[in-house]
Amino acid sequence: MRIYNTLTRKKEEFKPINANAVSMYVCGPTVYNYFHIGNARPFLFYDVVRSYLEYKGYDVTYVQNFTDIDDRIINTANVEGVEPEEISERYIAEYFTDAHALGIRDADVHPKVSDHIDEIIQAIQSLINSGHAYESEGDVYFAVSSFPSYGKLSNQSIDELVAGAKNEAMESKRDPLDFALWKKKKDGEPYWESPFSQGRPGWHIECSVMSAKHLGSSIDIHGGGLDLIFPHHENEVAQSESLSGASFANYWMHNNLVNIDNEKMSKSLGNFKNVRDIILDVDPESLRMFILSSHYRSPINFSEDTLKQAAAGIERLYAARDNAEYNMRLAQSAVDNQGDGLAKDMEALLLVFESHMDDDFNTANAITALFEMAKTLNTKAVKGADSASIRQALEIYTKTAGILGLLTKKKQMLDIEIEELINERQIARKNKDYAKGDMIRATLLEMGIALEDTREGVKWRRV
């Protein structure tokens, strides 16, 4: 397996710190509103990364934080006339509602900044004690000059960064690149007691501390959006490695951004798309399909047409599954053999799927392999084919789709399909093939259809 590492700007063979375990930290949402489609891309993509690593046999510990202390949360609370905690708790709950709708699993740990204030203060004090940070009028800043390799993640030199920051207000900083670890409170803001002042932590130190607490000082994978490389992730590297003296993350992964109708998503342009609004009118699985249909390091363009294409693709995948399941139930033979090579063809396509996922999690090409599986089912999993071969092929197909979080819904059987199966059962019983009759009855019950044999004939109902 090879991963493109932002730190080295090349694909590298994946070698975890511990042979059979993977530690993975992904920056989560700032909870002041519903999350938008740009946020959805990393949440969904790294969910797939985690699933594929598990499929490959790794024991993955996945951490995704909630930033519940932030200017935007405070501003929203002030507008609504409520406490900031009420805003953050509300939108944490709403995050889970929308994430679950998209098929995104919960992380192993969802740490909140507000639960880690003591650890953050301790980390800041350690940075001060080691000369990597300094106090200034109640604020605390990280001294970028104390970390010689600053800029290595964003591939920028100190001189380039200073030139870009030279017009910033110096406030109480010694250097324009220095960034806040602790902010002295302002009127009307929530605050915590600390040796420095009554105040609250800076954004960057929060993730460094939460990652270290739940995963240790060195982790395998750190993920997030392209827009987080600088300054957020660059600052995380400086803080974390200054604290531990060890490499912070061995593999840095960054997904590209989402455009709306070929324009950058922006509230000022009026094209801001919350996931909650999108899935009111669109099956969430179509949105998942849309996001995964492009390689994560490529930009993607959201539009009605691209979403319709994704929806049509999902329908094709479901149709192949449902038709194959139906033909399997109608199959006359239950002999366990390779039949016409259907299962072998699917196993070969599974290897193709794996090769694409092993190549930097190329979900776009992996989905192409999934469509080839669907085509094979449509061609060979037909009425009269060996039921055992169809069943084996379906298991491969649904397992493969499941890695991507697709094809998770059960089929709602049509009345005509139910009647055909009931007719097959009646023929079997007439021929004294009671085993097949019982098998059809059990299959229907598994699909939520209960049969009742009466004097007037067979009656059925959905359960």
> What 8-state DSSP symbol labels residue 427?
H
The CA-based dihedral angle spanning residues 441, 447, 450, 451, taken in that order and rounded to the nearest 10 degrees: -40
pLDDT value at residue 410:
81
Q: Could you state, in order of their start, the residue ranges of all structural domains in the chain?
A: 2-255, 302-403, 415-462
pLDDT value at residue 337:
45
> What 8-state DSSP symbol labels residue 386?
-
pLDDT value at residue 168:
56
**Mind listing the pLDDT tens digit for each residue in 352-406?**
999 999 999 999 999 999 999 999 999 999 877 888 899 999 999 999 999 999 9
Residues 324, 389: contact at Cβ < 8 Å? no
Task: List the one residue out of 8, 38, 27 whose CA is nearest residue 278.
Answer: 38
Task: List the one residue out of 261, 353, 268, 266 whose CA is nearest residue 300.
Answer: 261
pLDDT value at residue 271:
83
**DSSP notation for 24-43:** EEE---BSSS--BHHHHHHH
pLDDT value at residue 412:
67
Give Cα separations from 301 to 43, 76, 304, 305 (angstroms): 17, 29, 10, 10
Residue 252 phi/psi, 5-degree rounding, is: -105, 120
Sign of the C-alpha dihedral computed for residues 285, 410, 316 and 378 taken in this order:
positive
- By CB atoms closer than 10 A (0-12, 13-18, 19+), residue 247 is middle
Task: List the one residue out of 88, 22, 24 whose CA is nearest residue 59.
Answer: 22
CATH 1.10.8.350 fits 302-403, yes or no: no
CATH code for residues 2-255: 3.40.50.620
- The span from the CA of 463 to the CA of 385, in Å, is 30
Which residues of the chain fall short of a pLDDT of 70? Answer: 163-171, 267, 331-340, 412-413
Sign of the C-alpha dihedral computed for residues 131, 136, 140 and 146 taken in this order:
negative
Task: List the one residue out of 457, 461, 428 whose CA is nearest residue 330.
Answer: 428
Cis peptide bond upstream of 16, omega within 30:
no
